[in-house]
Amino acid sequence: MKKLISISMLSADFTRLGAHLQEAEKAGTDWLHVDIMDGHFVPNITMGPDQVAQIRKTVDLPFDVHLMITHPLSYIERFAKAGADTITVHVESPDDTDACLDAIEKFGCHPAVVISPETPVDAVKPCLDRVDMVLVMGVHPGFGGQSYIPETTNRLKAIRQMIDASGRDIRLEVDGGVNFKTLPEILDAGVDTIVSGSCLFKGDIAENIRKFKKLF
């Protein structure tokens, strides 16, 4: 499976957001990772579907929308209509995961699930027959610029084995603490979709993406 970079807009310069995202698109990023936080599920607030719809007008990249919200089921339709291509929901959410995946499929998006660092990897097993991607958090969700949690590597390896055993083409994505130092071991763990923000947006975006892809 082709390896992809999903650049995290959380680390973009919001004073010139459209232009900054266009720079990332021109530089060769594959997806745009859009973090949605509600201030309840995680201790931070980002944006809603109206803002995502506005951003959708600025770039042609596939939108990789990560819902870090308490009740994702209530918002899936709105984010799908705002331009999401993939929608990822937390298995830790109180909303029924199957119902969320049903809604994501109903509104024409790729379904995905995500687990936080404290959640056992087995929590994704019931979803493997219907998701297109599993996202593993390499940091505690809520803020960018955190350091990679070393135990994440073993968690990624375990989920890679589950995916391979399923016989399905499921992407394995990691988000948090990904940089030039941590990327090689992350790739060795079987990851094919890389979320990175602060490492890529800092400095020359095109050169940073080139260096990332060179490690692929």
H/E element holding 165? helix 152-166
> 77: which 2 tokens?
């339709």
Whether 175 is catalytic is: yes
Q: What is the pLDDT of residues 157-168, one digit of tens each?
A: 999 999 999 999
**3 state DSSP class of 119:** coil
Q: What is the pLDDT of residues 126-149, one digit of tens each?
A: 999 999 999 999 999 877 778 999
| pLDDT at residue 97, as a whole number | 98
Q: Please pick, among 35, 64, 95, 192, the residue that the annotation labels catalytic.
A: 35
Cβ-contact 172, 152 below 8 angstroms: no
Whether 188 is catalytic is: no
pTM score over 0.85? yes
- Give 3-state DSSP helix, strand, coil % of the chain, rounded to 5: 40, 20, 40
Residue 33 phi/psi, 5° resolution?
A: -90, 120
> 215: which 2 tokens?
């490690």
Q: Please pick, among 30, 64, 175, 192, the residue that the annotation labels catalytic.
A: 175
Domains of the chain: 4-215 (3.20.20.70)
Q: What is the pLDDT of residues 49-74, one digit of tens each?
A: 999 999 999 999 999 999 999 999 99
- Average pLDDT for the chain: 96
Q: What is the pLDDT of residues 89-139, one digit of tens each?
A: 999 999 999 999 999 999 999 999 999 999 999 999 999 999 999 999 999
